[in-house]
Copies of this chain bind each other. A is one copy, B any other.
Amino acid sequence: MPDRVIVKLGGSVITEKSGPCRIDRKRLSEVSRAISRRKGMLLTLVHGAGSCGHPQAARYRIQEGVDGSNRQGITITHAAVAGLNRAVVQALRREGVDAMGLHPLHLCVAEDGRIASFPLEPLERLQALGITPVLHGDVVADRARGASIVSGDQLVTFLAAGLACSRVGVATNVKGVLGPDGKVVPRIDAASVRDLPLGGSGARDVTGGMRGKVEELLRLAGQGIESHIFHVSRLGAFLDGKDHGGTIIGKR
């Protein structure tokens, strides 16, 4: 059985996060080359929205609940992040990876902001054929709120457990989780996280920034799955199972 691996590309890694939707195509090419060189694993990619989705979600106040008054924010937010997804898929395909975008909005239903239903069979069957699925943080229908945002980080947690992945890699634009001294914290668990002063990752992030990331990954650690947060330039090292100089989130 090939190694099942999930890689999350942070929204701030593949977009310029401060302005309107600007896709970092050079970064996408580098990432795609690193992935195309590694064979023999079942890879699932998840990316964040960055500036291609967060501003729209915030403008329409999606996280406060959706009804007739702000319903149009669903299609507008989704269109922004789906456009980014197409760019990610195209970059991978140019490097020879048979990538395919899968939109959570089309198949997932949340309940009060958490994934409640997400059939995995289409993804698993496409992957078994040799296709690399590329998912993303998205707005989805929500049983309690009309619609809500399911972040890339939440997706990673859900998919890692649902697909029984062996490793999770989170590629960011920092070296790892930084401590108060500005140095990478090499390891975090459910106990040590309480002492870390984790802030948000910047403006316009409606899904919780670095604290959100770590909290999602600690859920996985509780299920025995280790996650790795590292600078995107070290993606190859992570995929090869080598030292990436970042943070490992694991069990105590």
- Tell me whether B103 and A75 are in contact (CB under 8 A): no
Flag if A74 contacts B103 (CB, 8 Å): no
- When the two chains form their complex, are residues B106 and A78 in contact, meaning their CB atoms are under 8 A apart? no
Q: Which residues of B contact A142 (CB under 8 A)?
A: 125
Chain B residues contacting A171 (CB-CB under 8 Å) are none
**A176 part of interface (Cβ distance < 8 Å):** no
Q: Which of A131-178 contact B (CB under 8 A)?
A: 131, 140-143, 146-147
Residues of B within 8 A of A24 (CB): none
Minimum distance in angstroms from A158 CB to a CB of chain B: 15
Complex alpha-carbon distance, A180 and B112, angstroms = 58
- If over half of A's interface residues share one DSSP class (helix, strand or loop), that class is named, otherwise mixed; here it is mixed
List, in ascending order, chain B residues with CB within 8 A of A146's CB.
Answer: 125, 129
Q: Which residue of B lies closest to A107 (CB)?
A: B107
Chain B residues in 8 Å Cβ range of A66: 129
* Contact yes or no, A122 B109, CB < 8 A: yes
Which of chain B's residues have a CB closer than 8 A to the CB of A141?
Answer: 121-122, 125-126, 129
Q: Is A198 an interface residue (CB 8 A)?
A: no
The distance in angstroms between the C-alpha atoms of A109 and B71, with both chains bound, is 29
Contact with A131, one of B75, B109, B125 (Cβ below 8 angstroms): B75
Contact yes or no, B103 A106, CB < 8 A: yes
Using Cβ atoms and an 8 Å threshold, which residues of chain B touch A125?
A: 109, 141-143, 146
Q: Decide: B100 and A131 in contact? CB cutoff 8 A.
A: no
Across the interface, do B122 and A106 meet the contact criterion of CB distance under 8 Å? yes
CA distance A66 to B98 in the complex (A): 14
Query: How far does the alpha carbon of A131 sit from the alpha carbon of B68 in the complex, in Å?
Result: 10
Question: Can you offer 27 A-B residue contacts whose CB atoms are under 8 A?
Answer: A66-B129, A68-B129, A68-B130, A71-B98, A71-B129, A71-B130, A74-B100, A74-B131, A75-B93, A75-B98, A75-B99, A75-B131, A100-B105, A103-B103, A105-B126, A106-B107, A108-B122, A109-B121, A109-B122, A117-B121, A119-B119, A122-B140, A122-B141, A125-B143, A125-B146, A126-B141, A129-B146
